[in-house]
Amino acid sequence: GAVVSQHPSWVICKSGTSVKIECRSLDFQATTMFWYRQFPKQSLMLMATSNEGSKATYEQGVEKDKFLINHASLTLSTLTVTSAHPEDSSFYICSASGTSGALDTQYFGPGTRLTVL
């Protein structure tokens, strides 16, 4: 149980284009989903927290107009990187917590490698 999937697993795009990443909880309802980015050999950095049906809460320094988050259902959240630039290249990971395990426990997706040319 507690499986989280992400799609795509990797994406290469041109500078200026937008990219959408999906995060799904496959066997439980995710009341809260989190989006992280991770640079090589570093820990995960929280970008935003989203609760189903409400606006996401962004961490300081994360542009909400650039990283659009939608959590429209209890099993799906999307992150759209708008007008992507090379500095947005990173490993993006989502996590979900909800009806599987304790509410504090987060289960992570496999990550999406974004490369912006």
Partner 1 sequence: GQQLNQSPQSMFIQEGEDVSMNCTSSSIFNTWLWYKQDPGEGPVLLIALYKAGELTSNGRLTAQFGITRKDSFLNISASIPSDVGIYFCAGTNSGYALNFGKGTSLLVTP
> What are the residues binding partner 1 (CB under 8 A)?
2, 4, 6, 32, 34, 42-44, 46, 49, 91, 93, 95, 101-111, 113
Shortest spacing between CB 83 and partner 1, in angstroms: 26
| Type of residue at 27 | D
Q: How far is CA 86 from CA 12, 37, 81, 83, 115, in A?
A: 10, 14, 12, 10, 7
Shortest spacing between CB 95 and partner 1, in angstroms: 8
Shortest spacing between CB 11 and partner 1, in angstroms: 14
